[in-house]
Amino acid sequence: MAGLTIASGAFAAAGCADDGGAAAPGASSKLEVATTVAPITSIASNIGGDRVSITGIVPEGTNSHTFEPKPSVAELLSGLDVLFVNGLKLEEPTKELARENLSGDGEIVELGTRSIAPRDYAYDFSFPRSGGKPNPHLWTDPKYALKYAAIIRDTLSERDPVNARYFAANYDRFEAKVGEFDTAMRAAFATIPRARRKLLTYHDAYAYFARDYGWDVIGAIQVSDFEDPTPKEVAALIDQVRDTKVPAIFGSEVFPSPVLEQIGREAGVKYVDVLRDDDLPGAPGDPEHSWMGLMHFDYVTMTEAMGGDGAALKAFTPGDVAPDTATYPQ
């Protein structure tokens, strides 16, 4: 759809491979690429397909905000052409290790930082303006995931012009699929009265999504230091949930929260503890193990928990548009 179209970069280089066949004879070996969180790994794999060697660094189910890469990651980084990170101060230890170990013309590409202007940064419960770190979770909003994909396409194409048409074709298919997903999301969300589209979550991962899809984030129990809120803050959240009359609040399957469970119990609302923001459903190789599978799962879950009709989303089948040959650490 037009609202989710990202302008093409200078990827139509001369001597490109066709969009579906093998690379041109004499082409160099695959680009060596690493990524941080699993949603970025998945998006990169949708564009790079089987023409790029992609290795994730942050294990799924890990708190990416506090993740410290093992020293052994330095060896991987030393042989890279490109490291794709989210940026916006999400993966500083990994970036620092990369700066120390990238060799030759290896580069760090900050997808989130390149995708949003500072004036559009979200600051909120877990990411207050006073802390100097904007909310980094752009990928939960399909608009920004598509921007990530465009940057990945252009970066890979500049480094491997022989396969530029292949990367461009994968991007075009990804863009079309994201457009279908966006349409299904909007149809499903329209079945929830606007006043009921309010999110209280375990972690402030949906600020940009909420902005673009007509939801309000009313709170997050994980505060800026990533500790549980104080008893006073918990009491305030319970009052807020009662006042807003939301039918459900959301926790994480990966990071169980007794505090959210308490808030739900005392406020008398359903506690749904299965959301994820960077841990892909299933296992590597499963059809649902993708950025799109992750977001599809979350938004079906949100829609139905809030009393909406998830039929439009359920009728949409998420999936990859290119072979996912990436390595996902578990």
- What pLDDT, in 10s, does the model give residues 260-289? 889 999 999 999 999 998 999 999 999 999
CA atoms within 13 A on the CB side of 239: 6
Q: Which CATH architecture has domain 14-184?
A: 3-Layer(aba) Sandwich (3.40)
Q: Of 138, 139, 142, 147, give the one whose Cα is nearest residue 171.
A: 147
If one compares 20 and 213, the residue with the highest pLDDT of the two is: 213
Q: Crossing angle for the helix pair 231-244 and 258-267, nearest 10 degrees?
A: 40
- Domain coordinates in residue numbering, the chain: 14-184, 192-315
* pLDDT for position 269: 93
Query: Lowest mean pLDDT: which of 28-32, 58-62, 194-198?
Result: 28-32
What pLDDT was estimated at residue 230? Answer: 84
Residue 176 has pLDDT above 80, yes or no: yes
Determine contact, residues 77/97, Cβ cutoff 8 Å.
yes
C-beta of residue 47 within 8 angstroms of C-beta of residue 90: no
* pLDDT tens string 299-323: 999 999 999 999 999 999 999 999 9
Confidence of residue 217 (pLDDT cuts 50, 70, 90): very high
**Mean pLDDT of the region 179-205:** 94
From residue 212, give the alpha-carbon distance in Å to each of 64, 86, 185. 24, 20, 11
Class of domain 192-315: alpha beta
pLDDT for 201: 87
Instruction: Identify the pLDDT of residue 153.
Output: 98
Question: What are the distances in angstroms from CA 15 to CA 24, 25, 52, 236, 281?
Answer: 8, 11, 18, 62, 38
Per-residue pLDDT of 3-54, as tens digits, reads 565 554 444 443 444 555 444 433 458 999 999 999 999 999 999 999 999 9
pTM comes to 0.90
The answer to whether the 14-184 and 192-315 domains have the same CATH topology is yes
Contact 297, 24 (CB under 8 A): no
What is the percentage of the chain residues whose pLDDT exceeds 90? 72
Confidence of residue 226 (pLDDT cuts 50, 70, 90): low
DSSP E strand stretches across 192-261: 198-201, 216-220, 248-252
Interval 81-98 mean pLDDT: 96
Instruction: Assign 221 a pLDDT band (cuts: 50, 70, 90).
Output: confident
For all residues of the chain together, what is the average pLDDT? 90
Confidence class for position 64, pLDDT limits 50, 70, 90 = confident
Q: How confident is the model at residue 124, as a pLDDT? A: 86
Q: Quick check: 174 pLDDT over 80?
A: yes
Position 164 scores a pLDDT of 98
